[in-house]
C-alpha cells in the first residue's frame, strides 16, 4: 500500500507567499498526502487565504487539518504538526517555500517504497523573494556518511523526509532554540538511522531568500551561536571546527554547478 505522507506548513503573518506554498502542495500528483497547516494566530490576512483554499471545491478535503492559535515560534508550530500527523512519513514545507514541480511527493514516495529506507533528502535552490524563478544559490547536498557530520555537512532541512517512527524516537523540536532547532533535529534523525538514508540528486525544493537566519548579520551571528550549542548538545568532539566547516561549505552554494 502506498505510504501516506504528512506535509506540515507552519505560518505566521505571511500573506504574500502562503498561497504559493499551499498551491504547491495541493497541486501534487501523489494522492496519499495528509496536509497540515499550523498558523500562529496571524493578523495580516493569512488566515483568510487558508480558509479560501480550504473551501474551494477543486481542493475539497485536500487540506486535512488546519488550525490557528498563538504559539511560541516556528518550532512550537512544527511540533504541533508532528503531534497531529498520522502519516507514515513526515516532510515540511515552510510558508514561503515551494516544491520544484507537481511530482515531488510522488518521487519521494517512490524512493521510500522501492529503496525501503527511513530518510530521503535532495538538493535545493534559494530563489529571489520577488522572482521564484531567479536562482540565487544552489545547495547540492551530496551523499551522507556519519563522519561527514563532523565536517559540517548537513542536508537542506525542507528536503528531508523521514518516517514518523524516527520522530517518535528522536522527539520534538527544541523550542528553546530560535533558529537552529532544525539542525539539532536533523542531527538526531541522521544519527538514529545511519544505514537507511537515501540521497536523490535532484532539485526538489525552492526556498525564498530572506529567512530568519540569513536576512541580517545579527541573524547569522545568532544562528552560529545556536549551531555551536547544538553541536555541544549532540556531543561533537570539536564543535568549533565543525561550525567553521559548516559555514565554509555555504560559499560554494553561490557557484552554479
The least confident of 61-70, 153-162, 192-201, 248-257 is 248-257
CB 205 within 8 A of CB 99: yes
When pLDDT is cut at 50, 70 and 90, the band that residue 217 belongs to is low
Tell me which residue has cell 527511513: 118
Give pTM, 2 decimals.
0.93
Element containing residue 248 per DSSP (H, E): helix 239-249
| CATH number of the domain where residue 118 is located | 3.90.550.10
Strand partners of residue 36: 8, 65
Alpha-carbon distances, residue 251 vs 109, 131, 222, 234 (angstroms): 32, 22, 19, 25
Q: Across residues 83-97, what is the average pLDDT?
A: 97
**CA–CA gap between residue 177 and residue 195 (Å, rounded):** 28
| Residue 146 predicted with pLDDT over 80 | yes
Residue 36: partners with Cβ closer than 8 Å, 6 or more residues away: 6, 7, 8, 9, 64, 65, 66, 81, 84, 85
Give the domain extent around 82. Answer: 5-254
| Residue 257 predicted with pLDDT over 70 | no
CB 222 within 8 A of CB 179: yes
21-66 pLDDT per residue, tens: 999 999 999 999 999 999 999 999 999 999 999 988 777 679 999 9
> Which of these, 90, 37, 31, 94, lies nearest to 63 by C-alpha position?
37
Strand partners of residue 203: 123
Query: What are the counts of helices (DSSP H) followed by strands (DSSP E) for the chain?
Result: 8, 9
- Specify whether the backbone of 82 is left (phi greater than 0), alpha (psi in -120 to 50) or beta: alpha
Query: What is the count of structural domains for the chain?
Result: 1
What 3-state class would DSSP assign to 178? coil
pLDDT reported for residue 222: 87
| Residue 243 predicted with pLDDT over 70 | yes
Measured in whole angstroms, the distance separating CA 17 from the mean position of its chain's CA atoms is 16
171-206 pLDDT per residue, tens: 999 999 999 999 999 999 998 776 799 999 999 999
| Residue 136 predicted with pLDDT over 60 | yes
Q: Across residues 71-80, what is the average pLDDT?
A: 97
| Residue 120 predicted with pLDDT over 90 | yes
Residue 153: partners with Cβ closer than 8 Å, 6 or more residues away: 142, 144, 246, 249
Q: How far apart are the first and last CA of the chain?
A: 38
**CA–CA gap between residue 257 and residue 44 (Å, rounded):** 39
φ/ψ of 217, rounded to 5, equals -60, -40
pLDDT reported for residue 216: 59
Output the average pLDDT for the chain: 92
φ/ψ of 136, rounded to 5, equals -100, -45
Residue 23: partners with Cβ closer than 8 Å, 6 or more residues away: 53
Tell me which residue has cell 507537481: 102
Q: Across residues 109-126, what is the average pLDDT?
A: 95
Which cell numbers hold the place of 118? Answer: 527511513
Amino acid at each position: 500500500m502506498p505510504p501516506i505522507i504528512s506535509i506540515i506548513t507552519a505560518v505566521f503573518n505571511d500573506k504574500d507567499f502562503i498561497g504559493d506554498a499551499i498551491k504547491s502542495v495541493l497541486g501534487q500528483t501523489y494522492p496519499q498526502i495528509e496536509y497540515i497547516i499550523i498558523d500562529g494566530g496571524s493578523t495580516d490576512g493569512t488566515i483568510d487565504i487558508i480558509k479560501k483554499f480550504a473551501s474551494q471545491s477543486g481542493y475539497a478535503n485536500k487540506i486535512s487539518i488546519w488550525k490557528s492559535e498563538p504559539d511560541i515560534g516556528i518550532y512550537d508550530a512544527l511540533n504541533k504538526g508532528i503531534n497531529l500527523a498520522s502519516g507514515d512519513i513526515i516532510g515540511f514545507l515552510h510558508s514561503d517555500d515551494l516544491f520544484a514541480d507537481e511530482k515531488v511527493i510522488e518521487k519521494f514516495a517512490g524512493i521510500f517504497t522501492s529503496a525501503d529506507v527511513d530518510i530521503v533528502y535532495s538538493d535545493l535552490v534559494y530563489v529571489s523573494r520577488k522572482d521564484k524563478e531567479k536562482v540565487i544559490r544552489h545547495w547540492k547536498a551530496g551523499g551522507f556518511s556519519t563522519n561527514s557530520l563532523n565536517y559540517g555537512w548537513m542536508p537542506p532541512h525542507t528536503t528531508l523526509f523521514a518516517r514518523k517512527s524516527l520522530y517518535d524516537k528522536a522527539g520534538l523540536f527544541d523550542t528553546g532554540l530560535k533558529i537552529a532547532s532544525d539542525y539539532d533535529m536533523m542531527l538526531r534523525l541522521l544519527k538514529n538511522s545511519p544505514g537507511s538514508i537515501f540521497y536523490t540528486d535532484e532539485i526538489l525544493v525552492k526556498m525564498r531568500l530572506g529567512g530568519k537566519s540569513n536576512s541580517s548579520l545579527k541573524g547569522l551571528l545568532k544562528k552560529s551561536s545556536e549551531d555551536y550549542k547544538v553541536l555541544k548538545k549532540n556531543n561533537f568532539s570539536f564543535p568549533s571546527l565543525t561550525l567553521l566547516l559548516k559555514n565554509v561549505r555555504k560559499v560554494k552554494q553561490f557557484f552554479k554547478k
